[in-house]
Structure formats: structure tokens, C-alpha cells
Amino acid sequence: MTEEKKKNSSDDEETPQDDEENLRRAQEEMARMMSSVKEVAISNISLLTAQAWHHLGLAPMSGAAEADVDLQSAKMAIDLLEANIRILEASLEEEMVKELKQTLMNLQLNYVNKTKGQ
């Protein structure tokens, strides 16, 4: 193998130092994102919304074949979502609050419809 080929093939391989550097960068990015309580809360709202839809049986979670009806879990997710919105609404843009409240209302209505059938 010529020196040029050796150099090119070694450029494609990551060294342990590269792995450590990539890990350090990823950890710094995660720390930056998670250093804002508001960002964590917004992420939490997204997760709770997905959980609520899933447990209402209306949307499968990512990677799940189908949604799982569990009305007790759906209610908990909806109640936690409502509390998060109430706490955050003063620090969010009006349009975002409006959208979040609309989503909350849709979840609540779907929950009521699901519980009527029981």
C-alpha cells in the first residue's frame, strides 16, 4: 500500500481520541440544552402530549406497532400537561400557548369520549 493510500484509509478511521472528542461535544451540547429549565419543560410537554395520544389509543408511540389504550395513564399525562402549560404560559409566546391549550383541549375531549364508552 502506498503512503497516500495508507494516509487516506487512516483518515476514514476514528481514533479513540476522536471518539472521546465526539462524546465530549455531545455531552456539552446536551448540557447546554438541558441547562434551561424552560427547554426541559417544553421537551416534557412534547413527551406528555405523545404519551396522552398513545394511551388514548389514538396514536402509537414512535417504534410501537399500535397505540395502547390505558385511560389511567392518559389522564395522568393530560393532567401533567395541563399543569406544565399553566406554569409555563407566562414565559411562552402567545401563539405557542394558544396551540398548547388547543392540544390540551383536544386531548381532554378525546379522553371524555373514551370514558363515555366504558
Residue 113 CA: distances (Å) to CA of 5, 59, 107? 67, 16, 10
Share of the chain above pLDDT 90, in %: 52
In a domain, 1, yes or no: no
Q: Compare 102 and 38 and report the one with higher pLDDT.
A: 102
95 is in which domain, residue-wise? 15-116
Share of the chain above pLDDT 70, in %: 85
Overall number of domains in the chain: 1
Torsion of Cα atoms, 40 then 43 then 48 then 49, to 10°? 150
SS3 string, 37-97, reads HHHHHHHHHHHHHHHHHHHCCCCCCCCCCCCCCCHHHHHHHHHHHHHHHHHHHHHCCHHHH
Identity of the residue numbered 3: E
How far is Cα 70 from Cα 75, in angstroms, rounded to an integer? Answer: 9
The residues, any chain, with a CB within 8 Å of residue 43's CB and separated by 6 or more, are none
Task: Give this prediction's pTM.
Answer: 0.69
pLDDT given at position 32:
72
pLDDT tens, position by position, 6-33? 555 445 566 778 888 888 888 887 777 6
In a domain, 3, yes or no: no
In a domain, 9, yes or no: no
In a domain, 7, yes or no: no
pLDDT tens, position by position, 39-59? 888 989 999 999 999 999 998
In a domain, 111, yes or no: yes
Lookup: cell for 64: 410501537
Q: How many CA atoms lie within 13 A of 96 on its CB side?
A: 11
In a domain, 10, yes or no: no
In a domain, 2, yes or no: no
In a domain, 6, yes or no: no
